[in-house]
Chains A and B, each alone.
Chain A
Amino acid sequence: MKLGTILVRVPRKVKKGQIFKVMSITKHPMDTGLVKNPKTGKIIPMWIINKVDIYYDKKLVTTCDYGIAVSANPFLAFYLKADKKAPLEFVMYDTHHNVYKKTVMVNVV
């Protein structure tokens, strides 16, 4: 799996007004900047995802501010209320100014 890949799981079909669970996992090292490389003895510099924005129907739904104490390959689960068939977008920013994006559709029947 490539670095920065975001995997998102939503139910295949949701009824209108239903509250459903969204689960996501991101491939990222989340180096804290406190650990030494055992071979070279040098400190591995800090490299973390520090902000996550989640948009549903182009509207900001959830924001997460991460510190260094979020584990590697961060996992995030939360609930959403189904209103209409709309895209669910994940935008992640890290301390190396990279932006990772992923969009999935929510099928409301």
Chain B
Amino acid sequence: MNDHVSRRDFIKKTAVITVAALVPVSVVSDAATALAAPKAGKPAKKIHIIKTKLKKFKGKEITWLEKDSAEFKKLMIPKIHLPLLAQNGGLVPLAIDSKYPMKKGDYISAFHVFDFNNPVPHVASFYLTPDNGRAFIATRIKLQQDSYVQVITEYSNGSLYGNREFVKVTVGGC
């Protein structure tokens, strides 16, 4: 057995291996950068989302409870039904639903919908009475960008509670 490797052989083999190792990598990396270039050329516009919660309304303090807390469930603070992703910002279905018993003297008297990422934050207000039987409202609203839709619930004793929901918007509609 001849274990001796000649100098010429060694150089040839190493050259082949290095070329084989280098070329595809560089080619692939070049191709990758070429593919990524058009995407990188248009930098993704980072939108600023205002996350502040509404503190006061009509001179009254608004209470923001934790979503898992017992008081949250006891007061039956309404659920906000929104799509995860709204493709058309000009037409986003919004439903506010609570199972709070609408008895005379103890009922949900109003919903106030706010969105701080819109040109005008106040979206709409809905005033209910015990004749409704159920605290439910469904509408369609306009949204400018990804944002938090805030619903302030007013009870008949005057207390205000807030709840909010995140929604992604592809094309703004304001």
A binds B: yes
Q: How large is the interface on B (under 10, 10 to 19, 20 to 34, 35 or more residues)?
A: 20 to 34
Looking at the complex, which of A3-11, A37-45, A72-80, A96-104 is the stretch in contact with chain B?
A: A72-80
- Confirm or deny: B136 has a beta carbon within 8 angstroms of a beta carbon on chain A: yes
Within 8 Å CB of B133, what residues of A? 19, 79-81
Within 8 A of A (CB), among B121-135: 122-129, 131-134
On whether A79 and B132 interact (CB within 8 A), knowing A70-B139, A71-B141, the answer reads yes
- B136 and A78: CB pair below 8 A? yes
The 0/1 profile, CB within 8 Å of B marked 1, for residues 58-96 of chain A is: 011111111111111011111111010000000000000
| Residue among B90, B132, B141, B143 with max Cβ neighbours from chain A (10 Å) | B132
Within 8 Å CB of A64, what residues of B? 124-127
- A76 and B136: CB pair below 8 A? no
Residues of B bordering A, CB below 8 Å? 90-92, 95, 115, 118-120, 122-129, 131-134, 136-143, 173-174
Residues of A bordering B, CB below 8 Å? 19, 23, 32, 34, 56, 59-72, 74-81, 83
**Can you give 23 A-B contacts (C-beta < 8 A)?**
A23-B138, A34-B174, A61-B132, A62-B129, A63-B126, A65-B125, A65-B127, A66-B124, A67-B120, A67-B122, A68-B119, A69-B115, A69-B123, A69-B124, A70-B142, A71-B92, A71-B141, A71-B173, A76-B138, A76-B139, A77-B137, A77-B139, A81-B132
